[in-house]
Amino acid sequence: MADAANPDPPQSHPQNLPKVLILKPPPIFPHFESELSLHFHLLKAYESPLPTPEFLAAANASGVSAMLASGGYPITAADPLDHLPSLRCIVTTSAGLDHIDMQECRRRGIAVAFAGDVYSDDCADAAVGLLIDVLHRVSAGDRFVRNGAWSSQRKFPLANRLGGKRIGIVGLGSIGCRIAKRLEAFGCSILYDSRQKKPSVPYTYYSDVCELAASSDVLVICCALTDQTRHMINKEVLSALGKEGVVINIGRGPIINERELVRSLQEGEIAGAGLDVFENEPWVPEELFALDNVVLSPHIAFATREGFHDMFELVKGNLQAFFSNKPLLTPVVD
């Protein structure tokens, strides 16, 4: 506690700190809220019983110029942008931008900073982990032992080798390139589909995702969710992948037509799937729970202690840069 001779410096008082609006806390927030509060006056709309517009009015948020966003809260013109006329910067902890109306932000002159490649290594590790789990039946073997099936002399199905597999990567961005490097080390062949061919990589390019699927043993989905990629992995693509094919999705759930994926798995039209994301999170189709060739994960491919610490530093750095009239560290560039 400060004494009368040594009062707290003015900048330590929240009211004297730059205001940052938070409509829904991002995943890093519970771990770094106290540290972030040392630098910014946090307006926590999610703690209020009031609807967002009423909270913003009560908190006098019309003058707020910066927001910390979470992928779980859509940022649109009507909610909340129309209620934030002074907003000039959105810092999101997500690598994807499907929750932000970027066209509206550009029209209003709102700069957006995103996660950049902070989570890329963690997501790549998770994708490879899911693939190894599906092929080598790691989770299925764990259940087999825990349920007492091993001791009852039941036979466990043979696994599949990862080495030599043809891996089709859908979206060869920061995460996709890291997945490719990891799987090259296992002796896999890398194919890819992306918005455009990348002359700097030694992998085989396919402009059509269905043709990519037909040439692959595994499809790894790590592209962004857009109007063009929504339900891009459909019945035709899954059929092209074939009965020995495996799907890994660490991108966004709606990139896959989930109903068709469930049907393909149930009917044996593909061999398995490793899924970290789903179409209507946190709801997961119950049909998947009974399938031993499916590995499920609760959208945590990005979530590591190290990644969260790096993300906190990036969030703090982006906000400090904005309030200091300096360039954002990880701006979204058209």
Which are the catalytic amino acids? Answer: 252, 281, 299
Measured distance CA(209)–CA(305) in Å, rounded:
34
Measured distance CA(203)–CA(155) in Å, rounded:
39
CA angle, residues 69, 75, 81, in degrees to nearest 5:
105
User: Tokens representing 290?
Assistant: 């009974």
Residue 117 CB partners (closer than 8 Å, separation 6+)? 95, 174, 175
Q: Which of 25, 83, 78 is nearest to 53 (CA)?
A: 83
Phi, psi values for residue 101, rounded to 5°: -75, 90
